[in-house]
Amino acid sequence: MLDKPPTGEFGLIAWIRSQAAAHGRTVVGIGDDCAVLRPAADRELLVTTDMLMDGRHFRLERDGAEAVGAKALGVNLSDIAAMGGQPFAAVVAVALPRASAVATAQQLLTGMRLLADRFGVDLVGGDTNAWDGPLVVSITVLGEALPPGPILRSGARAGDVVAVTGPLGGSLLGRHLRPEPRIAEAQALIGAVPVHALIDISDGLASDLGHILEESGGLGAVLDAGQVPVHADALVMSRSDGRSPLDHALNDGEDFELCVVLAENDFQRAQQVLPGVRRVGTIVEEAGLWLRDGAGTLLALQARGFDHLQTEA
């Protein structure tokens, strides 16, 4: 609605307000001290937050602010997917490099809008700051749990099937910038079968499955080497870094596929509603994580916990 490009913070805020579409949950969007929302009264509220930093989760100069905006919203939406929920609102706080603050903010917003529009998310508030440091984007997304309620990490049981919603590994080639939050996929699954545990694969299958095992009371899992779907990007990366494609599929982060745990008896029905879902292993009583090769030999896997306080992306 604004014809001229915005200048300064207030111009930018006016421009953002002119861009914001109103969905049913938003009573007051951007422009007051708080956003005012009216979530569905009979559904539990989901809240998740993720912060992305230049040099850590993206490189602004290489990737561009539009991709950063899409990734920053996408990783949060993926967390809503991992509860089987439906997102409806987001607030965005940014620390913008001073020299290009307004242009960067606009590009970020353009990238966010792509996903926000697709997934029915209102941008209802924010905090814009400029500084001499690198770009930092922090987003909080609100969503609603859908029946039968939010799917936690803690419901896995021995004998359950472990499955994933798509091929894994090698996302650093570029896919990590374009997360596809599996919101529809999660909803299809939880609408069709009892899902015992659900997590999105942000730190790597081994590590994220490890969270499920730990939160489910210290269970274990056996993954079938031949069943783990390996992404073409993992093959490409394998050629240059010498790590096996399977190692990439098990340990690379930022795939943003879902890891699903459900009863053996329900797996066929899950595959009917979501043909892309692939069985990769089985939950077992004994704590630990193993890889079974073609000969049936079990190899203990180190669930390389992705420690965000130590590791460089």
57-86 residues in contact with a copy of itself (CB under 8 A) are 79-80, 82-83, 85
157, 173, 215, 284: residue in contact with a copy of itself (rule CB under 8 A): 215
The answer to whether 310 contacts a copy of itself (rule: CB under 8 A) is: yes
Half-sphere exposure of 83 (CA within 13 A, CB side): 21
23-31: Cβ within 8 A, 24+ apart: 23/88, 23/89, 23/120, 23/121, 23/122, 25/88, 25/89, 25/122, 26/89, 26/122, 26/124, 29/122, 29/123, 29/124, 29/125, 30/123, 30/124, 30/125, 30/126
Which CA distances in Å does 113 have to 71, 122, 305? Answer: 11, 9, 33
Candidates 27-35, 174-182, 270-278, 281-289: pick the segment binding a copy of itself (CB under 8 A). 27-35
Cα(220)–Cα(294) distance, rounded to whole angstroms?
A: 20
The backbone torsions φ and ψ at residue 282, rounded to the nearest 5 degrees and listed phi first, read: -140, 140
- Count of residues interacting with a copy of itself (CB under 8 A): 73
The answer to whether 93 contacts a copy of itself (rule: CB under 8 A) is: yes
What mask, x for binding a copy of itself by CB under 8 A, covers residues 153 to 172? xx------------------
Q: Which is nearer to a copy of itself, 3 or 33 (CB)?
A: 33
Tokens of 114: 């792509």
The answer to whether 103 contacts a copy of itself (rule: CB under 8 A) is: no
Q: Which is nearer to a copy of itself, 18 or 272 (CB)?
A: 18
Q: Which of residues 230-289 bind a copy of itself (CB under 8 A)?
A: none
Q: Which is nearer to a copy of itself, 79 or 233 (CB)?
A: 79
Cα(244)–Cα(252) distance, rounded to whole angstroms?
A: 11
Residue 54 is given by DSSP the state B
24, 31, 218, 226: residue in contact with a copy of itself (rule CB under 8 A): 31
CB of 184 to a copy of itself, least distance (A): 17
Cα(111)–Cα(72) distance, rounded to whole angstroms?
A: 9
Q: Which of residues 108-137 bind a copy of itself (CB under 8 A)?
A: 124-134, 136
Helix (H, G, I), strand (E, B) or coil at 197: strand
Reference 221, options 296, 295, 277, 298; nearest CA is 298
Reference 64, options 174, 153, 167; nearest CA is 174
Q: Which is nearer to a copy of itself, 64 or 134 (CB)?
A: 134
The answer to whether 217 contacts a copy of itself (rule: CB under 8 A) is: no
17, 19, 23, 39: residue in contact with a copy of itself (rule CB under 8 A): 39
The answer to whether 38 contacts a copy of itself (rule: CB under 8 A) is: yes
What mask, x for binding a copy of itself by CB under 8 A, covers residues 187 to 206? -----------xxx------
Q: Which is nearer to a copy of itself, 134 or 166 (CB)?
A: 134
The amino acid present at 104, given as its one-letter code, is T
CB of 297 to a copy of itself, least distance (A): 30
